[in-house]
Structure 1
Amino acid sequence: MIEAREPIIVEFPLRGEWLSPNTPGTKIPSHGTDQLGTRYAYDFIQVDWERKGLPAYRVSLAQYLLFGVPLNEYYCFGQEVYAPCDGIIVKSEDGYKERGRTNLLLDMSNAYKNAHYFDPKKDDIQSVAGNYIIMECGDHVYAGLVHLQTGSIQVSVGQIVKKGEVIGKVGHSGNSFAPHLHFQLMDSSDISTANGLPCAFEQYEVFQDGEWQKVVNGIPTDKDRIRFGSF
């Protein structure tokens, strides 16, 4: 049983404060499916912790619902993404265009279509993953960093990278409701057939009872206000 496997420990792939609305710390499968290696996957966004509803964008809720939101109005858009481990780049796919703004109905339609009709045997994986990087972190352990900003990927196939190196930026490419980083560990470099692997982060902080508390080898929940690195 894969559930019995101890989580693989990697470094948190972002800096600053984040929220994980989809996380194996709250439910498994975290994205409601085992397909495409997503069983233990995380999504990370930045939000305004002082505003009702914790919006991920600077504009009003009405503008979001009626007109959509330009990507640069999202707090996390363009934030740097860091290598979660020492490893080698085995896939690096850039050039998939992002829509210029989010659109609730269109994005929901795309998500439904990909969830129900995507066929990995004939459909382009970039229609789901957008711009993405896959790193080999160890023996049969691969990290996927997905939905990256178009033109932001700074690594190429075969490149050896060190943990903590900047490798790309958070974007909105592929099957994405809003700018975010999708992060997962897998047993294969082929997203279309990979199985997800459980993953925890070697350290980060959680804001509890008015102060930041250190967490070691932790798996955040969808309620945790987390931060790591540069504050």
Structure 2
Amino acid sequence: MQTSQRHRMRPRAIWMSIVVTLALIALFLLNTMRASDNSMEAGYEMIDKQEPFIVQFPLRGEWHAPNTPGSKIPSHGSNLLGTRYAFDFIQVDWDKPGWPAYRGGLLKYLISGIPLEDYYCWGKKVHAPHDGTVVRVEDGLPERQRTKLFTDFSGARKAAVEFDPVTDDARSVAGNFVIIELANDVYAALCHLQTDSITVKVGQHVTAGDVIGNVGHSGNSFAPHLHFQLMNSMGIATAQGIPCSFERYETFRNDTWVEITNGIPTSTERIRHAG
């Protein structure tokens, strides 16, 4: 009887060992990403010597930008799909190790997954970053109802390898999105929006600060977040990225909030915008 129990425990022990190993790898990659950030002052230094187009911050409250041209260019590792200067914004618990973006532990994420409603930023309002005209709206693409490492990684790999900009629907990568024309040859794309949350329509004029939708998890998304970028055309599949800076926001330094003007947040900064 004792021998039988030991044999039954071995697969479980092996499985737990695999899970712990994956968790350690995830933490290592997270720390490596942070260590690679050079913690530059928000500004123009990392923008390929191109003067950024100034916009308003598209969110309210406290945020973190794990992918930002303030830390590396291309910010997403590629110039494709207009992403050279793109930002990803999430909300995190700054008081917990690793700055988790959701309620619950890492093992839950790895094994059973995290429901969307457990992410701090899911459903938060997204605002127009500048006065302009809405030129494209894509909505109605369903969101996966929970995040899970292996499922999300498989989907991201498939999207990266198999996406054809000529024949494929841009929503398979960008999810539900809004594109706003800000000026001649300057377009803002706000992507991965929550299904059926978009409040604007094509041809509508928007003013900076207007609500256009909610943060979601549609398309090629590892977790709920806002993907924000400027580009030189309304066609995500073929556009080139344009650098931008944010007119005003605050960053948390030395236990106090410091106002930044025309800045570009880095991947280690705690930032906020009160609206």
Deviation at 1:4, TM superposition (A): 3.0
Matched, 1:88 2:133: yes
Residue 14 (structure 1) aligns with: 59
Residue 82 (structure 2) aligns with: 37
Residue 198 (structure 1) aligns with: 243
Residue 170 (structure 1) aligns with: 215
Q: Secondary structure at the match of 2:111?
A: helix
Deviation at 1:142, TM superposition (A): 0.1
Query: For structure 2, which runs of at least 5 residues remain unmatched after alignment?
Result: 1-46
TM-score w.r.t. the length of structure 1 is 0.98
Greater shift, 52-61 or 15-24, is seen at 52-61
Residue 185 (structure 1) aligns with: 230
The one-letter code sitting in structure 1 at the alignment partner of 2:249 is Y
Cα distance in 2 between the residues matched to 1:73 and 1:210 = 28
The equivalences for 1:62-77 within 5 A come to: 62-77=107-122
Residue 211 (structure 1) aligns with: 256
Residue 151 (structure 1) aligns with: 196
The one-letter code sitting in structure 2 at the alignment partner of 1:61 is L
The equivalences for 1:121-160 within 5 A come to: 121-160=166-205
Compute the RMSD of aligned alpha carbons: 0.9
Cα distance in 2 between the residues matched to 1:4 and 1:116 = 31
Cα distance in 1 between the residues matched to 2:48 and 2:98 = 33
Aligned length: 229
Cα distance in 2 between the residues matched to 1:74 and 1:30 = 23
Q: Secondary structure at the match of 2:129?
A: coil
The one-letter code sitting in structure 1 at the alignment partner of 2:98 is G
Query: For structure 1, which runs of at least 5 residues remain unmatched after alignment?
Result: none
CA offset digits 1:72-119 (Å, max 9, x no partner): 000000000000000000001100000010111111111111112211
Q: Secondary structure at the match of 1:4?
A: coil
Matched, 1:56 2:101: yes
Deviation at 1:125, TM superposition (A): 0.8
Q: Secondary structure at the match of 2:203?
A: coil
Q: Secondary structure at the match of 1:29?
A: coil
Cα distance in 2 between the residues matched to 1:215 and 1:3 = 20
Q: Secondary structure at the match of 1:222?
A: coil
Q: Secondary structure at the match of 2:117?
A: helix
Residue 49 (structure 2) aligns with: 4
CA offset digits 1:100-150 (Å, max 9, x no partner): 101111111111111122111111111111100000001100000000000
Residue 115 (structure 1) aligns with: 160
Q: Specify which structure has the higher proportion of helix.
A: 2
Cα distance in 2 between the residues matched to 1:192 and 1:107 = 21
The one-letter code sitting in structure 2 at the alignment partner of 1:62 is L
Higher relative contact order (CA 8 A, sep 6+): 1
The one-letter code sitting in structure 2 at the alignment partner of 1:217 is N
Cα distance in 2 between the residues matched to 1:33 and 1:62 = 30
Cα distance in 1 between the residues matched to 2:235 and 2:97 = 40
Cα distance in 1 between the residues matched to 2:187 and 2:70 = 20
Deviation at 1:197, TM superposition (A): 0.2
Q: Secondary structure at the match of 2:150?
A: helix
Aligned-pair identity in percent equals: 61
Matched, 1:98 2:143: yes
